[in-house]
Structure 1
Amino acid sequence: MSLTIPALAGKLAGLQSSAIRDLLKLTAREDIISLAGGLPDAALMPRERIARAAETALCDPAVLQYTESSGWPALREVIAARESAAIGRSVPVGEVFITHGSQQALSLLAEVLLDPGALVIVEDPAYVGALQVFRAAGARIVAVPLDSDGMRLDILEDLLAAGERPALVHTVSNFHNPGGVTLAPERRRRLAELAEAHGFWVIEDDPYGELWFDRPAPAPVASYSPQVIRLSSVSKILSPALRVGWMIAPERVSRAVELLKQGADLCGSSLTQQITTDLLTDTTWLAAHVDAIRTTYGTRARALTTALRTTFADRLHCTDPTGGMFIWAEFTDTTDTTALLPAALDAGVAYVPGGAFAVTNTADNSLRLCFTTSDEATLTAAVDRLSSAIG
């Protein structure tokens, strides 16, 4: 008897694995200096402080029980207070929703806000996690390029004037992944004005906002309009393994997300959420901890940009990171970074070709470099290896 093999959902046809995740499998060798992964430095994660918080949490048997789908109540109160200070208005607890990392928030929001074929505006180059989510939702994706001040709102305005009506606009407002730039204050205000004038949502994806080097990031886009939904997490300042992210959104959006989360995983981890609450409320310790991360990352970012400019001079242009984890670089000659990658790996260095983030522009001569997990000497050695790969 012949077998009839069941089909998978049609929406999977347009999806592909993240090129970055696939590349990480190739860079596990100890002889490779990896500038590819967007990983915080594990050596800077507060293992001992997390252990103490876990021990304290485990004194209460309830911490091992299910919690509310919207999150551990005490954590929601802490996030409401932190976001109120950031946004500059009182954020009620009802607008705070805790998720399994901010990526889950993005995925759930796509289900809540997008019908198949809905228009989504993203930045180009784009955060690949957002592209995966929006493609899975069946959205029509249109990209707006970045410049040194973030998303080109003049191009967005041209699209709106031409009759395009997005359901949402996605922006990584601070220390962009992968572009390394920050959305300028005047553009933040204008983006919020456009959202209200044309009736679309803005998703402000902000996992890096606390990782500034010399001065804090500008006021959030959410400061200017209730039509801006803010996402963030503790992955970059505490640990990705805690899997604690959050969304700040109008209550009707949060309630809709709650219905979907109940069907996905019922609730998050009450244990890791209580650990996170402990760490976030220890404000003196937290301020010193985050400041140490900023100092270390800032030193490494400057070391990498210096090495790139010393080695390649006018052959390569790169961003000047003021925070975050990434440098975006572009060769000014015909160097194809995808074609170059095998030789770079042979030389012992890894990066992500710009094409992995491209939506419209192919970004053939571009690459993203992460500076967080290597010290200054190692970063300089990585650039030397890249130079030798080019020959």
Structure 2
Amino acid sequence: MTLRGERQADFAYQAVYRYMINLINEVSLDTPAKLPSLRQLSTRLNVSISTIQYAYSLLEKEGRVYSVAKSGYFAWPVTANPLMAVGGDLLERLYAAARRPGMSVLSGDEPTLLGSLDSALLTLERQLVRLHPRHLQPWSQPCGVWELRAALAARYTSSPTRCWQADDVYIGADLRGVLEILIEVLGLKGKTVVVESPCDYLILRLLQAAGVRVVEWPWQADGSPDLALFEHWLRHESVHLVLLSSVVSMPSGHALPAYDQLRLASLLDQSGCWLLENDCFGELCFAPRQRAMRDLINPERLIVFSSFEKMLGPEAPFGYVLSRHLASELQRQFLLRAFRLSSMRQHAIARLYQSGRLDQHLEALRQRLREQAAAMSERLDVRLEGRVTYRMPVAGASFWLQSVAAVDMRQVFQRAVAQQVVIAPGELFSLSGLHHQHLRLSHTFNGQPNLDIALDTLAQALLQAQTG
């Protein structure tokens, strides 16, 4: 079978995606089934490995497949019932539940559901393909095309001393791949890393799988950081690296006050510790952009990572990293990974930056997110009154809720799934059992008729799962 020439209007990954859907539907319905490798599918379908990788990443985000390090991809059984494996892996059960048809999936944090640049991006890419025939394109740019790297360097430059060059930027196929490279390059196996908590479960699981000693730094009840505890760790633990968000910590939605930012920067400078800054939500603050941590930190001990997906949409899955140092090792690891990224897609993203189209989009997206959060807050106050407390989010597409009464949140999850509602229990965002009375709830449900029913279901599940 070949996909070249199939449905000329489609991009290759769309045809691969449809093929994979059909393949998944053919596998066993009782147990997870191993799927063909990237290389096998590339040979079978006569498309690039990067195209296969992108199609798999879409399927993984949809909860249709999951990956196992050094083993490949597996398809979830369609008829799998997450309620049967009460003691099983909670993240796997969440993915399985989200895949089932007819579910109200309230567990995500996908800002671009309210507006993406997918259409503009694909239009630009088609135009560029016509202007630059593929046989004239450089065949290998393992760290990303120069135009996009230069656009990102310009975006992150804030002063003559806090400036970036295109050679400081590295672009990978997705955020997971970039983070895996950083873990390897920084030599984090067996090292101590302080991580803000709650933290994205992708990051936590990658660190855990790599044998990193993770010390979780939880936010206090009033939304402020415990700087005394942080200083204690820097003084008495062999902290190799600190992982913090640039502006807003997600999913908690907390932003550091200016005073705490300055104090934190001072502590990091005194300790000589590296900062790994997560900028995935840095452009999505509802209020006027606040100062990022990187603008206060010694740039010689700073690495920044992010992705385009939260800003642009699923057609821009690439992850990237900025670092002034470790150039030879980063280049080596990107070469070894052999990311085969679409150069035209990267050029198209760069044009969005250069033309100002991205800034226009972000301004509109932030406005819609702010309005949607306000509307969701009104619903929460009515439907979950007396059941949860929360702070209004200042970025992103989700709320971080805490149960008023003591509950078994896993039981809340199970009861909600039984009524076709999927939430993300707070324990997913910790490796040490923190946040077991919390949950993440998406607010990007513009006009969904069943949202009130879903929230009523959640309120009932919280009542039924009380433990006190």
Structure 1 residue aligned with 2:302: 228
Does residue 76 of the first structure (1) align with residue 149 of the second (2)?
A: yes
Q: Is the alpha carbon distance of 1:34 and 1:257 closer, same or farther for their aligned partners in structure 2, counting shifts above 3 Å?
A: same
Are the aligned partners of 1:344 and 1:386 in contact in 2 as well (CA < 8 Å)?
A: yes
Q: TM-score, normalised by structure 1?
A: 0.86
Are the aligned partners of 1:87 and 1:220 in contact in 2 as well (CA < 8 Å)?
A: no
**What SS does the aligned partner of 1:214 have?**
coil
1:319 to 369, 388, 391: 391
1:239 to 299, 308, 313: 313
RMSD: 2.8
Aligned residues between the structures: 376
Structure 2 residue aligned with 1:176: 249
Does residue 286 of the first structure (1) align with residue 342 of the second (2)?
A: no
Q: Is the alpha carbon distance of 1:11 and 1:67 closer, same or farther for their aligned partners in structure 2, counting shifts above 3 Å?
A: closer
Are the aligned partners of 2:118 and 2:314 in contact in 1 as well (CA < 8 Å)?
A: no
1:305 to 358, 362, 377: 377
**What SS does the aligned partner of 2:255 have?**
coil
- Aligned mates of 1:104, 1:315 — CA distance in 2: 39
Amino acid at match of 2:415: A
Does residue 216 of the first structure (1) align with residue 289 of the second (2)?
A: yes
- Aligned mates of 1:256, 1:104 — CA distance in 2: 15
Query: How does 1:1-391 map onto structure 2 within 5 Å?
Result: 19-20=90-91, 22-42=93-113, 44-59=115-130, 60-62=132-134, 65-85=138-158, 89-147=162-220, 148-149=222-223, 151-161=225-235, 163-226=236-299, 227-250=301-324, 252-283=325-356, 285-375=357-447, 378-391=450-463
| Higher RCO, 1 vs 2 (CA within 8 Å, ≥6 residues apart) | 1
- Aligned mates of 1:175, 1:20 — CA distance in 2: 24
**What SS does the aligned partner of 2:440 have?**
strand
1:361 deviates by 4.1
- Aligned mates of 1:314, 1:174 — CA distance in 2: 30
**What SS does the aligned partner of 1:143 have?**
strand
Q: Is the alpha carbon distance of 1:208 and 1:228 closer, same or farther for their aligned partners in structure 2, counting shifts above 3 Å?
A: same
Q: Percent of counterpart pairs with the same letter? A: 25
Are the aligned partners of 2:172 and 2:318 in contact in 1 as well (CA < 8 Å)?
A: yes
1:43 deviates by 5.8
- Aligned mates of 1:244, 1:11 — CA distance in 2: 21
Residues 324-333 or 149-158, more deviating: 149-158
1:121 deviates by 0.8
1:334 deviates by 1.6
Amino acid at match of 1:36: S
Unaligned runs of 5+ in 1: 1-8
1:30 deviates by 4.9
Unaligned runs of 5+ in 2: 1-67, 72-87, 464-468
Q: Is the alpha carbon distance of 1:301 and 1:272 closer, same or farther for their aligned partners in structure 2, counting shifts above 3 Å?
A: same
Q: TM-score, normalised by structure 2?
A: 0.73
Amino acid at match of 1:224: I
